[in-house]
Structure 1
Amino acid sequence: MYVPAPPTGVLWGRLPTRSTPPVAVVDSGAVVTIDTISHEGVLEDQGQDPLGYFTGLGVAPGDVLSDAVEVARRTPHDGPGPHVVTGPIAVRGAEPGHVLAIDVLDLQLRVPYGVVSNRHGKGALPGEYPEAWESRADLRRWFNAGGEISVFTPARPGPGGLVGALPAGQGEVTFPLAPFLGIMGVARDTDALVDSVPPTDAGGNLDINELGVGSRLYLPVRVPGAMAFAGDPHMAQGDGEVALTAMEGSLRATLRLTSIPPGGPAPRAAFAAPFAETPTHWLPIGLSDPDGAEGGGNRTELDLAMKDAVRRAMAFLVQDRGMAEPVAYAYLSAAADFQVSQVVDRTTGVHGLIRKADFGVA
């Protein structure tokens, strides 16, 4: 099934809830191809005019997405977040107590460019940047019309695949593209408005760069049909996402959506909180505030997210791998890595990386 992103098929700044009507209904195990739209170029501080914004940066008019233009014109920005989210998609048979498995089968760039932004009061160093640059005439080229920083980043073929390119002195710096969806989630069991920014126990804006092609994200189902959604497409992101955004750029995602009942083929740890895996690793996911209500990316938030990630990792090793608690704790200290997913979404994220090969899993 193909799910486009017309103005009536997306939400802007908020996430689906139990009362949001689905844009599509699929069977469990269905493969869906979803168009996602980056909020960069659509936002008000960039003129809410993707065509004018990107052509002003040298992009050919034919390389500006018509659905992004229409969303900017016709979709109400009626949530506090910046993100454009496609969905929700109802999955037949998914019920509270199940887990929804989202397999990422393919991610294709819809445009040959992205944007990396830093906005006032946000990022890892709020109050320092971009304020320190405001009087610098030599840096004005990177301030957008709303006074925020937006760094246009072309994508092009490189020696080992697609790369992003940024100016560096008299030359440039390039880095490999590794597309993933910053937002994948299921609806929370509420009728209240759900901000698109903080990730929660229902997924959402997790910003975990390991969730590229070949990964699987498990999410506890909260409402009938699960009501899955996707957005915040990224072309590349470093752990931490320190400026505020990744290299944001629209993607076409092909996903498999599978509802797994209790006792089914999913880690037991996944029935309590988001959990992911790649072909090589299991990823317990820690959040400083799973309810998504507070948070600010400070040291306390990072400590809370780290503790949550370690507890999730412990639960997985004990419940799913049969390890004794002291041995599991020792293994995590000796052999597992914990990475900062992001520190910029109010609710801070840390994810663990547990090698499957250590357990003889190919």
Structure 2
Amino acid sequence: MAPVDLSGWTAVQPGSDAEHYLPATPVTVLWGRLPCAADEAVVELASGDVLTVDTLSHEGLLPDQGQDPLAYFAARGVPAHLVLDDAVEVARTCRREPADGPHVVTGPIRVDGARPGDLLRIDVLHLEPRVPYGVISNRHGRGALPGEYPQGPDAVSVFTAVEERDGGLVGVLPLREGGERAARFPLAPFLGIMGVAAAGDERPHSVPPGAFGGNIDVKLLVEGASLLLPVQVDGALAYVGDPHFAQGDGEVALTALEASLRATLRFTVVPAEQARAEWGEVRGPLIVTPELLVPTGLDEDLDEAVKHCVRNAIELLHARFGMDRHHALAYLSAATDFDISQVVDLVKGVHARIRIADFDG
């Protein structure tokens, strides 16, 4: 495929005049692990504050890609000024153990007043692509077809450029190596990792999601969506990472179109009593969009993840609308889609799309 012209693009390098800004530096990120109760916050917010935070994709930084983003992306036609300075610094200076996950995670973020039993609401206000390209990888014999793909001993990473088309941004993925034709698909940026610190003094691995959120990879968390998480430790100690430009439900290769984003987010504490009145007992990540209520289910077994999601959806409908539980199950069967969030993060994810308009009036 002929190279996509990147000459008109500029990178969103570190630095912002936002009132509250969190860059991605060796001091403010963890590589491959998630914050726990023993970690110190790198920024403190009041409930309701808005934070602009830089996130980094791990693609192009990992050891199997040379751990040198300048060289990795130069080999794919990216000029040096379009490689992020913070990506270069993190790859050169941050420590990551071989057993750790791949993700670069920015945080933790302390939100004053958050206590266990509360919910932390994270509103996604704006997501800005920092570069005009991303990478989709299949590695380590994982993904939806372990043992079949990758077809050779090495990881396979597909470079995907971004171009403007019909007033929007699309990913440009070649049909074959060196070919002239490409598939083009719309971008829908979101953060794959959004979470709160786990209780205890051991940092969780960055790959499997849990009740604390983490690597949930639900593509509905685009601009305008909100994530509600049960607070596990005082101050919540929130974090974000694993930025995506696009993902299909399932994320079957292992990663989707991974690429760095600058996120503008609002962090609000929902006190325990108010949380129970509005949402019931929230046992894990709950997503709210202008059109949808989206409970989730998580388990290593996909069948069990579906069961957890159905139970959580029933309880949500009972708490939110006063619906009898057997009527809630009937409604879910007739009117709600249960989608596979991802099958590649050790703990599999399922989410339900409940239409809010069905309950108007």
Both proteins in one fold, TM over 0.5: yes
The one of 161, 165, 169 equivalent to 1:158 is 165
Instruction: After superposing the two structures, state which structure 1 stretch, 58-67 or 72-81, moved more.
Output: 72-81
Matched, 1:102 2:109: no
Give the alignment partner of residue 42 of structure 1, picking from 58, 61, 65: 61
1:264-279 matches, within 5 Å, as 264=274, 267-269=278-280, 271-279=282-290
Q: Is residue 325 of structure 2 the alignment partner of residue 330 of structure 1? A: no
Q: Deviations along 1:79-110, whole A, 9 cap, x unmatched?
A: 61000000000001111111000000000000
Match of 1:280 among 291, 294, 318: 291
TM-score (norm: length of structure 2) = 0.91
CA drift at 1:160: 4.5
Equivalent residue letter for 1:26: L
Q: Secondary structure at the match of 2:117?
A: coil
Q: Is contact 2:251-2:344 (8 Å) kept?
A: yes
* Alignment partner, residue 252 of structure 2: 242
* CA displacement at 1:172 relative to structure 2: 1.3
- The total of aligned residue pairs comes to 337
Percentage of matched positions with identical amino acids: 56
> Is the contact made by 2:127 and 2:223 (CA closer than 8 Å) also made in structure 1?
yes
Summarize deviations over 1:246-292 as a string: whole Å, max 9, x none: 1000000000000111222674346332211111000011001xxxx
CA deviations over 1:188-237 (Å, ceiling 9, x no partner) = 00112310000000000000000110001000001010000000000000
Contact 1:99 1:270 in 2 (8 A): no
Query: What SS does structure 1 have at the residue aligned with 2:334?
Result: helix
Structure 2 counterpart of 1:182: 192
Segments ≥4 residues shifted beyond 6 Å:
none
Alpha-carbon distance in 2 for matches of 1:213, 1:263: 28
C-alpha deviations, 1:53-95, integer Å up to 9, x for none?
0011100100000000000011111461000000000001111
- Corresponding letter in the other structure for 2:359: F
Whether the aligned pair in 2 keeps the contact of 1:3 and 1:35 (CA below 8 Å) is: yes
What is the correspondence of 1:119-268 to structure 2 with a 5 Å cutoff? Answer: 119-131=139-151, 133=152, 147-168=154-175, 170-264=180-274, 267-268=278-279
Contact kept? 1:120, 1:127, Cα under 8 Å = no
Q: Indicate the residue corresponding to 1:32 in structure 2.
A: 51
Residue among 107, 129, 132 paired with 1:112 = 132
Contact 2:119 2:231 in 1 (8 A): yes
For the residues of structure 1 that align with 2:138 and 2:283, how far apart are their CA atoms?
A: 34
Distance apart, 1:318 and its partner CA: 1.1
| Gaps in structure 1 of 5+ consecutive residues | 135-146, 289-294, 296-300
* Residue type at the aligned position of 2:141: G
TM-score (norm 1): 0.91
Q: Which amino acid aligns with 1:101?
A: R
Q: Secondary structure at the match of 1:163?
A: strand
| Contact 2:56 2:259 survives alignment (8 Å) | yes
For structure 2, the 5+ residue unaligned runs are: 1-19
My pick for the range that moved more, 352-361 or 80-89, is: 352-361
Partner AA of 2:49 in structure 1 = A
